[in-house]
Amino acid sequence: MADPLSFYLDDKPQPGTGSNFNVDYVIHYKLPTTSVNEKEEAEAAFIQLINALSAVGFATEVRPGGKSSLLVFTKIASEKLLTSQVYRYRIQDWLFGVRTSAPNQDLSKYLEEEPVSEAERLRLTYLLITKSKNEGGAGITAKVGKWKYVDSIFPLHDHAFNHRWIKAWSGKYFLDEEDLNRIRDKFGERVAFYFAFLQSYFAFMLFPAAFGFAAWLILGKFSWFYAVVNSLWSVVFFEHWKTKEVDLAVRWGVRGVSRIQHPRPQFQFEREAQDPVTGEIVRVYSPFKRLSRQLLQIPFALACVVVLGGLIVSCFGIEVFITEIYTGPFKQYLTFLPTVLLTIFMPTFSGLLTNLAEKLTKAENYETHDAHQASFIEKIFVLNFITSYLPIFLTAFVYVPFGKLLVPYLDVFKVTAQSFTTMEKPVTKSWEINPDRLTQQVIYFTVTAQIVNFLTEVIVPYAKRKVFKKVQEVQSEFSGNGHELQIKDHPDEADFLKRVRNEAELDQYDVTVDYREMVVQFGYLSLFSVIWPLAACSFLVNNWVEARSDAMKIAIGSQRPVPWRADSIGPWLHSLGFLSWLGSIISAALVYLFNKHDINPDGTPWDISGWALLLSILFAEHIYFAVQLVVRSLVQKLDNPGLQKERAERFAMRKKLLEQTFGSHGHDADLTEEAQGPGHVSSGERITREALEEEARVNATKTPEQLFWLRQRGAAETIEIGRGLIAEVAAANQTKSS
Amino acid sequence: MADPLSFYLDDKPQPGTGSNFNVDYVIHYKLPTTSVNEKEEAEAAFIQLINALSAVGFATEVRPGGKSSLLVFTKIASEKLLTSQVYRYRIQDWLFGVRTSAPNQDLSKYLEEEPVSEAERLRLTYLLITKSKNEGGAGITAKVGKWKYVDSIFPLHDHAFNHRWIKAWSGKYFLDEEDLNRIRDKFGERVAFYFAFLQSYFAFMLFPAAFGFAAWLILGKFSWFYAVVNSLWSVVFFEHWKTKEVDLAVRWGVRGVSRIQHPRPQFQFEREAQDPVTGEIVRVYSPFKRLSRQLLQIPFALACVVVLGGLIVSCFGIEVFITEIYTGPFKQYLTFLPTVLLTIFMPTFSGLLTNLAEKLTKAENYETHDAHQASFIEKIFVLNFITSYLPIFLTAFVYVPFGKLLVPYLDVFKVTAQSFTTMEKPVTKSWEINPDRLTQQVIYFTVTAQIVNFLTEVIVPYAKRKVFKKVQEVQSEFSGNGHELQIKDHPDEADFLKRVRNEAELDQYDVTVDYREMVVQFGYLSLFSVIWPLAACSFLVNNWVEARSDAMKIAIGSQRPVPWRADSIGPWLHSLGFLSWLGSIISAALVYLFNKHDINPDGTPWDISGWALLLSILFAEHIYFAVQLVVRSLVQKLDNPGLQKERAERFAMRKKLLEQTFGSHGHDADLTEEAQGPGHVSSGERITREALEEEARVNATKTPEQLFWLRQRGAAETIEIGRGLIAEVAAANQTKSS
């Protein structure tokens, strides 16, 4: 595959992409290149690998993978094994309430009715490879423990599908139901949920884009009206997505799958205990120990604030000093200093902190993959929050209002600057607030940074791979003579293997990176768009491109993802809610601070009263809560097709079970008639009564209770006696009133 | 039954209480005492009543009910009818997910396993009497439409049980599981939930009582530490109750019964439509029309604020003027004026507004009883909020801080007072803030008002009935001669009928009144206890008495309630959450205002900065949110017996169904073996491989895909070839490094 990009632009299929040779998964097995010991270890592990795969029912083929790796191709050996897996997991789904009905007994008929999708096949195959031996799997987990040479386990792309996919999407504005369903069938619900979210977000973005444009033209910046509408929009979007998520989950048949947790192989248990409910043996880790480790999140968050905040504040100070005060030599070069510093240190620090976050999350030792992921995402969110929003917070709430007070402290740079120059005249000028800084910064983050992001996400990895390959080729040309490993592929397979080797070198696709990007963007809109209402227009364009570039990233830039299921966008939902809420506060504060108060270039302190600022925040926040309550109750009242489907399914299932149990209404109908047919009961009643009367005449030893119910013989007598009593009362009253 | 109170103090059973004569329900049928037309109408309706009851399967007996009413006794005629009803409703429960398993086919065995409790019998009987004819009931609804002469439909008390109940409770501090279960079996889950809540609340109250006492001794009033602990307590209590509620609902087998809605007979539909899900015909009322009527709640709330607020403010003003400024004549009498005004007008206005609330709720025209009740409770909560808390709000946030500014406006009273007197010397003195007013008021509401409440709730109705009866007797003695209606009871029944006539005259028990009282009390604790930390001690004592007096109220003061089911305390839960949240704000404001600032008796404006006040509120509220989040996640992690039971039941039920479907593991076990037994599959695999090989030799026209999987014959060959490749790589590397 010479050039993956051109592959998607041409219509001509690339060599080797026509077929996947029925391969389910490819295991990329990296060989050590240094010591002999390691070679032996790798060999032993390889033997174990093949045996483990074969033991659970995989057919295997091995081929050379490149200079120092192997490619192990696996497929499920018999269709019967696959069927049994499908059946087993569908029953599990039903046990967990994901499916409303139990799988049919007649297997072949059942699979005809509900065929196995590609995603389902790949998911179950992956589980069979990775789940532990005592759960019936091969227990192979990439890069962990004895499987450290297993670099990755990945399915092969369906390039014909990818080709159609990218072509189709690049020609349309909106993704429809069918587009998402296709993604779901190929890449699983987890990826499909991302695109569904992106699509929903994109469609909702139309409103703030149009309204923002109008506001920009008419209302200008810092309009309270824009802030209110924007906040309202974010509430509506958030609440809508919450129900949409449930709707989609039901329609895709995955509602509740988050309850079926995949155990983390790395989980370390303290002891084994019996589940009080199911009686199964479960592995236990002390929740208090975990809690004590979770508490480390607090120092971690503080560390993030100190390290990243410190970096940002320093660069901010240097930048202000150089661009707005400094007048000495090399100013044109020094202007780039803060950018350079940020570019060097920010990724370094972020990387370090991300590693730390990963270590912390591992130390928290979660039983399940989802819990682990959620905890990690929480930490990442803190990191991103600081790197993304702190610069604007600084400008809005420190630089502008307190600039005049704080800038003198920048003298530390002045002294440094003065000592580096030999000139007599001062190298600084008196400082004035740059009134456009805030807007410039927001524009930078909402336009420039989005473009930069796009480039780093799509173009850079591609370029990197190209360069890396070239370097390797050149390297091997230089070093390569004599015993260089020669790969001789069978001509039938050569193209295919070349393509698989390419895919093996690609990165794994991580959907959380894409979610993070969207959530951060939502934050800009919710928190800061009141500064520059055009932001949403930029996001609208960006998100159209984003959906396509993410599709490209999956199709060309990454290994095909394992098609996991999901029933929501997971922990990101909380982040969205948090940002939406914070937006109400920050927008109010921004509007209060900047709406009436033109920025004084001379930096004199404004006429800001603390209580009015706090009052507007308090006010905005509580209106936000009230609106959220109303919107939530309204949105919940709306029926959606997914929930209707679920209701109908449950209704039908239970009706069916009822019929099965009682033989098509037989038993139940009897009861119904008896309960509803008045004649039947009351005549039966009368017969009993008569029989009892007979008895009463015979047997005078009745209790008062029995006699009480025998005084009036049936309804007719009760009526008669009642009428008598009514007449008596009327007579008594008439006597009285006369 | 001469004296109901003495009945519960003696051990000797009162006459007529030994047996309920197998009566299920008594219908108290009031006869008109004026016109002849009405007499005929009442007679016709009576005939319809008896016929309707008889038609659905009730045995009936009629007896004179008093001067101008009849007592219709009903019981289900045949046990078979009852059984069929039990079966029918248990199936409905199962369809709605309240029961995890469908009722057994073998009815008699099934009812032995799960016998019909008294509450269940009475509930189903009541439904049979009241539900509409097309649902198979008699369609009798008290006081509505043609049944306007039906005054009440009530079951008879089990006085032996009530006697034991009151005796047992008056001798113990804590109610246990069994006590609540007994209540549940007699009076249904709705009443049992009230007592469960009361018990939980009482037990939780121990902490604030002890802590409040300590705080009162050590910290004094307006301690921020007390406020924080108190707020934390309210969060913990609220979150605990939320899970406790679910736990109880599961243990009582009623989780989800709020989904089974009882239609309101008064509901008026606009059109009939088909349910898109179940295909049933449903009655529809436009939600937009309803919404437009729901919006009337806003003017209603405003009206409450204006009317009640106006009354409270006026009385407050008069009180301040008379007690703190006025020095003229009749001061000792005039002091009572505001109390008199409040006592006269408050119940009048409250009553009017409650009526209005009822009318509004009726106009909102809900389909179901629960929705109607929830909407009504919302309105009542607004009313109660104003009457209960506004006086203290006024003192804390208006009288004390702004008294000096506002008191001059009371001159309007001064002029009035001056004009009524002929004395020369001024009748007023210069005003000083009464620093103890706030505390006095809180003590009044948390101690005095609770006692007054107890008296009005228990003693007054009892005294009223006594007096009313005496008056009636005296009246009939005066008028009674000649044609007075003489009731001649059969001697066997005389005592019983006398007792039933007594019960017919009692009020209906309304559990919402009791909930309201507790919720209002929780509000005092959450909002104002920082003013007087001893409040919780008073509540602790009060609530012990409350549980017993409520029990007495049910046992003696009310007709036996229809044993409805419930799965929570319903809309009061929201009220509790709201008060808990508001408490965080109000406490913070109170602490800020009064902690450092001793009340200046000269009324000079304090040194209060608005921003600091707002900041402390903002701070307190957000700490509250954070704490709530943490407590919620912690409480949710705790397992409770109810949820465990539910999990176990579902697990067992599904396992059972699975076994039924597949014949005791037969089918499933096969699959398991196949999936897990490695030998079986891989040998099967090998066989397939060998067969394929044979084919391959015969047939050379295989596709490359087929050939790909035939190059290595089984795991052994893959391993062999893999080892060769590993060796090659190692060799190549060694050459390179050497």
pLDDT at A420: 65
pLDDT band at B230 (very low <50, low <70, confident <90, very high): very high
| Cβ atoms B57, A685 nearer than 8 A | yes
Beta bridge partners of A71: A28, A63
In which residue are the tokens 């600057």 written? A417
Each residue's pLDDT tens digit, B601-642: 554 445 667 788 888 889 899 999 999 999 988 888 777 777
pLDDT at A408: 75
Each residue's pLDDT tens digit, B439-498: 888 998 889 888 888 887 777 877 888 888 788 778 766 665 445 556 788 888 888 898
Burial annotation A201-240 (CB, 10 A radius, 16+ → b, else e): bbebbebbbebbeebbeebebbbbebbbbbbbbbbbbbbe
Tokens in use for A215? 């506001």
Contacting residues of B for A493, CB less than 8 Å apart: 704, 708
A424 at the B interface (CB within 8 A)?
no
- Partner A, chain B 99-158, Cβ-Cβ below 8 Å: 102, 105, 136
Smallest CA–CA distance, residue B108 to chain A, in Å, is 14
Handedness of CA A13, A16, A22, A25 (dihedral sign): negative
Beta bridge partners of B133: none
Beta bridge partners of A73: A26, A61
The stretch B576-584 carries a mean pLDDT of: 94
Angstrom distances, CA of residue A53 to CA of A48, A75, A118, A127, B681? 8, 10, 21, 12, 11
DSSP assignments along B565-596, one per residue = --SS-TTHHHHHHHHHHHHHHHHHHHHHHHSS
In which residue are the tokens 């106006």 written? B310
pLDDT band at B241 (very low <50, low <70, confident <90, very high): very high
B722 at the A interface (CB within 8 A)?
yes
| Cβ atoms B557, B461 nearer than 8 A | yes
pLDDT band at B324 (very low <50, low <70, confident <90, very high): confident
pLDDT at A738: 57
Distance of alpha carbon B709 from alpha carbon B697, whole angstroms: 14
C-beta atoms of A709 and B736 within 8 A: no
Low-confidence ranges of chain A (pLDDT < 70): 1-13, 105, 276-278, 417-431, 476-486, 596-608, 654, 657-701, 735-738
A274 at the B interface (CB within 8 A)?
no
pLDDT exceeds cutoff 50 at B50 = yes
pLDDT at A664: 41
B661 at the A interface (CB within 8 A)?
yes
Smallest CA–CA distance, residue B105 to chain A, in Å, is 7
DSSP assignments along B608-632, one per residue = --HHHHHHHHHHHHHHHHHHHHHHH
Contacting residues of A for B72, CB less than 8 Å apart: 718, 722
C-beta atoms of A75 and B617 within 8 A: no
Distance of alpha carbon B696 from alpha carbon B701, whole angstroms: 8
More confident residue, B469 or B292: B292
Best of B26, B72, B95, B729 to substitute, by most chain A Cβ atoms within 10 angstroms, is B729
C-beta atoms of B50 and A719 within 8 A: yes
C-beta atoms of A674 and B84 within 8 A: yes
Across the interface, which of A276, A674, A712 has its CB nearest the CB of B61?
A712
A714 at the B interface (CB within 8 A)?
yes
pLDDT exceeds cutoff 50 at B667 = no
pLDDT at B732: 79
pLDDT at B691: 61
Each residue's pLDDT tens digit, A686-719: 446 666 566 555 556 677 777 888 888 788 888 8
Q: Which helix (H) or strand (E) holds A400?
A: helix A400-406
C-beta atoms of A672 and B75 within 8 A: no
pLDDT at A595: 76
Distance of alpha carbon B202 from alpha carbon B536, whole angstroms: 10
pLDDT at A3: 47
Angstrom distances, CA of residue A415 to CA of A321, A406, A427, B188, B220? 12, 16, 10, 82, 55
Distance of alpha carbon B686 from alpha carbon B674, whole angstroms: 15
SS3 B554: helix
pLDDT at B654: 67
What ipTM, to 2 d.p.? 0.78
Tokens in use for B492? 């066997």
Please give the residue of chain A at the shortest CA–CA distance from B710: A61
Query: Percent helix, strand and coil across chain A, each rounded to 5?
Result: 70, 5, 25
Please give the residue of chain A at the shortest CA–CA distance from B735: A483
A688 at the B interface (CB within 8 A)?
yes
Please give the residue of chain A at the shortest CA–CA distance from B42: A726
A64 at the B interface (CB within 8 A)?
yes
pLDDT band at B673 (very low <50, low <70, confident <90, very high): very low
pLDDT exceeds cutoff 90 at B561 = yes
A363 at the B interface (CB within 8 A)?
no
Q: What angle do CA A411, A414, A418 make, to 5 degrees?
A: 145
